[in-house]
Structure 1
Amino acid sequence: MDTIYAQASASGRAGVAVVRLSGPAALAIAARIAGPLPKTRVAGLRSITDGAGNKIDQGLVLTFEAPNSFTGEDVVEFHLHGSIAVVRAVLTVLGQQENTRLAEPGEFTRRALENNRLDLPQVEGLADLLEAETEAQRKQALRVLSGHLGDLVEGWRTRLIRAAALIEATIDFADEDVPVDVTPEVSTLLSSVHNELAAEIAGSRVAERVRTGFEVAIVGAPNVGKSTLLNALAGREAAITSEIAGTTRDVIEVRMDLGGLPVTLLDTAGLRESDDTIESIGIKRAVERAERADLRLFIAEPGVDLLITPKTEDIIVRPKADLLTDPENAISGKTGIGVDAVITRIREILLSRYSDVGVATHARHREAMQNAAERLQSVYAALDHGPDRYDIAAEELRFAVRSLEALVGRIDVENLLDEIFTSFCLGK
């Protein structure tokens, strides 16, 4: 196996740059260019030299011996002065060593997966952590990276294997008197796993929204101040504002951090009946996007029909509070009246949903759990028919276990791995 290397810190000039080396020859190569190595996991100040013994830089060298490293292999990190020239020179020297090559995107993490240092959800959690923009995203990614989902799956898998073993024991001794009725224990095992799967599936949709961002659609008739409000919330001219009705023709998106939660605000076309073909397309898109949003903020006078029926938690406020003698439950993006109150209400609603967040954060996780849950339903149906269907029940249990194993990356995920690791940088 090749020894791989890459810059693990951001490219460009910086105070410190980190170059990582991993593989069977990592320690030997490091000793060749940095002299005697410090004890494992202890930083040592060393001079880094090129092949002719010329000094490139002086920096810290850290070693991590296999299997107690991130990748599970021997790993060396060089903490250098963050000069572009220094990093380039060190990478050049590493590339000149025998059986070394520049790492591919995500290859360090891929080796960690292959060496059982991480499971697949942890790899996805690491990718999410690197992409995290808000506090909620950071906390959620850390939960996944810490192995919570893998622990859950292992618990479910263990109980399902136990249930399958009990059922198969009954099949094996079908012609004899089995000393113990296994049905109560099997039922308990299946129901506990099924209930936990159902709860995690429900929470996964919120978790996925935390990862990708909640969508809040601003809905209203033309000229009620939707675009002005969006610009006020964004702190910039994200949308064109005009007194001419129908100015907004397409959905405009602004992403923001709302009290630690990732939120994408959607400015939609003014909702009304229109004979203008282009405006009608914009209105249709606005309705479709608003219906799919997690929350809708209606800016409208009481009794106005906006082609969309508000849902239970949707917020309804009156427009142009600056022109009203009584601005209660009204808003004005122009003057800021009512804006803070609306932001607080949006945040409270989304936080109430966040309290039900699960550990599973990707659609892939949810699909695997749904497949397992459906298999368990088939197990229940087979068991209800008595011992004649126990062989079918056992087979369905095996399929359920395989779905969970796919979730954590034990089987059938090679194509998925290629897709995941392309999102990583070279040094990760």
Structure 2
Amino acid sequence: MSNPYARIFSEPGAKGFSIAAFFGRLPLAMAPIGIVAMLSQTLGEYWLAGAVAATYGLGNAFLAPQISRWIDRYGQTAVAAPAAAVSAAAFVLLILASHWNWPAWTLFATALGAATLPSMSAMVRARWSELFRDRPELNTAFAFESAADELIYISGASLSVGLAAAWFPEAGMLASTLFMVGGTAAFLLQRKTEPAVRAPQADGPAGSAIRQRPVQIITLALVFVGATFATAEVSAIAITTALGQPGAASLVIGVYAVGSFVLGLVLGALNPRLALHRQLLIAVGVLALTSLPLLVAGSSVALLAAAVFLSGVAISPTFITAFGLIERRVPASMLTEGVTWVMTGIGIGMSLGAFVSGWVVDHFGPQNGFWVSVVASLAAALTIALGQRALAGERAAPGRLAVS
């Protein structure tokens, strides 16, 4: 049996833009925690560090889909290059503001400016779609990128915090900015694989991709999935601390992501023939089912790690099928924006999940934080189940709206 991953990377230019995109999106994991690590050390105020990080995160959640919409309209290089330049300049100013103890308002202003960071995850998937549209290799490519996202979440946050602790407070943010500049530049310089700009037809779907019913359904579902992701991290930290083994939290969180990473690669190699909307329903159903053992897994680190590993296996399959459905149900002229809305949903879910699970842990104890995972995963499954008819519709082509 031939290696499906070797097949997708044999396409001219595929290795180059995928490697560049990996480094270009490291700030996805490095920047939010890097801001907290930097400001908490230089200013000594966690509430301010968290508020500045939230300003960046929420700002990017709002701006990234708009930037991606312009990318669909005018091209990746024409829009992403200036947007990334503004983001990089703002990150540098934020680092200087932290180092030189500038007024607090400058921290918020520069964090908001840095939020113009374009969605590299969306742009790289748009390039894969350009290469393999309507071909089975596209599912393998999306599986690889979902696994890459997992690896970024595993390594990026740890790298950012580790650099800030080992070298100097701004080290993590400086490295994040350098990765973003170098990765984005290398990605955009590869013009041969840049997707062609497709102008929408006059009688076709107009406006934002979020007006498309499949985008609304999948984005909402992945808000809940993102919440389960963050809840696992918060609850793992709280439980291992309560067990007197706080250092084990990194191991538990790593196991969570590893399970998802491995199964995602396997799914990409197998390329199941079942309809994608059915695959997504199965994935979120498994996610809900495997969240239940978490409720009774707080007696030891070993038991916690096993339950967390089991609960993580459906994350990558959920992401892979979700992005595959977006590619099939959203007009090509809106693809980058459509993918970005889904990424935004994950980010919003992670922020809300961390907040809600933290509140539950504070008020009801470490073990009960996992109830947020159970409720969120059930909500994701219900959302996808109710949206099956819309998700089963044919691709929204110019001149025809998606079935809803």
**Alignment TM-score, normalising by the size of structure 1:** 0.26
From the two aligned structures, give the one with the greater strand fraction. Answer: 1
Determine which structure has greater relative contact order: mean sequence separation of CA pairs < 8 Å that are 6+ residues apart, divided by chain length.
Answer: 2
Question: Which entry has the higher C-alpha Rg, 1 or 2?
Answer: 1
